[in-house]
Structure formats: C-alpha cells, structure tokens
C-alpha cells in the first residue's frame, strides 16, 4: 500500500502453521518504487532489497517494549485481546546515514527468543 510517498507492507510470520509475529515495514516510495510490484509472501524482503537496490546497511536503532495486544494484533496473531506481546520499533540506516526502513514488529511474548552476539 502506498500512502503519501510511503510504501507500507504487512506480513504475518508463521512457524508450524501458527502465527508468531506480525511485521509492518515502511519505505520511501521514491527510493524503492519496485517494492509495490512484489509479493513478499513468496520471496524474502531483505534479499529483494539487496538484489534490486543494493542497499548497503550500516546500522539500526531499535526499541523493545512490552505491551498487550489490541484488537487488530489479536486477530492477526489469533490470540485473545490483551495478550502480552513484545513490540519492537526499528529504524535501519544505510552507509550514507539515511534512514531507509521503518519497522514495527509485534511478537507473541511466549514465542520470542533473542540471542545477541556483541563485539567488544
């Protein structure tokens, strides 16, 4: 969906036929116009961005919040309204320090697993 210069994609990710999380991506329409013509239920969004636009990612800013599901998220993830979820907001930047992707992801808190490797 394109809204005032922005492309918005929404995808539900499944594991073993059960929804695990719902992800909403926002991109500048002018920067990534071909995104409107793709079906990301059949191909990887990241692979498409890399192959089509050769975006060289540099870093991302991410916030993690505990929350409860509203009506829309509950319906998409097939849980009762008010279920505990993890809401992650992320902005990804390219090597020119330009924000290229805005993401809101809603994870079922009881299905979420995080492992991070840190370079120090």
**pLDDT tens string for the chain (120 positions)?**
445 788 888 999 998 889 999 999 998 888 888 888 888 878 888 888 888 888 888 999 999 999 999 999 999 999 999 999 999 999 999 999 999 999 999 999 988 888 888 888
Q: Are 9 and 15 in contact (CB under 8 A)?
A: no
* H-helix or E-strand spanning residue 7: strand 6-15
Tokens coding 9? 């994609």
pLDDT at 63 (0 to 100): 96
pLDDT at 2 (0 to 100): 45
pLDDT at 1 (0 to 100): 47
pLDDT at 73 (0 to 100): 97
**Is the four-CA dihedral 76, 88, 51, 4 of positive or negative sign?**
positive
Q: What is the pTM of this model?
A: 0.84
């Amino acid at each position: 969906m394109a809204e005032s210069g922005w492309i918005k994609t929404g995808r539900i990710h499944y594991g073993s036929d059960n929804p695990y999380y719902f992800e909403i991506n926002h991109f500048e329409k002018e920067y990534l116009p071909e995104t409107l013509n793709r079906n990301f239920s059949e191909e990887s969004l990241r692979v498409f961005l890399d192959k089509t636009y050769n975006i060289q990612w540099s870093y991302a800013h991410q916030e993690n919040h505990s929350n409860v599901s509203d009506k829309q998220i509950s319906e998409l993830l097939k849980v009762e309204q008010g279920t505990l979820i993890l809401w992650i907001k992320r902005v990804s930047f390219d090597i020119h320090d330009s924000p290229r992707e805005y993401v809101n992801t809603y994870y079922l808190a009881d299905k979420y697993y995080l492992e991070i490797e840190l370079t120090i």
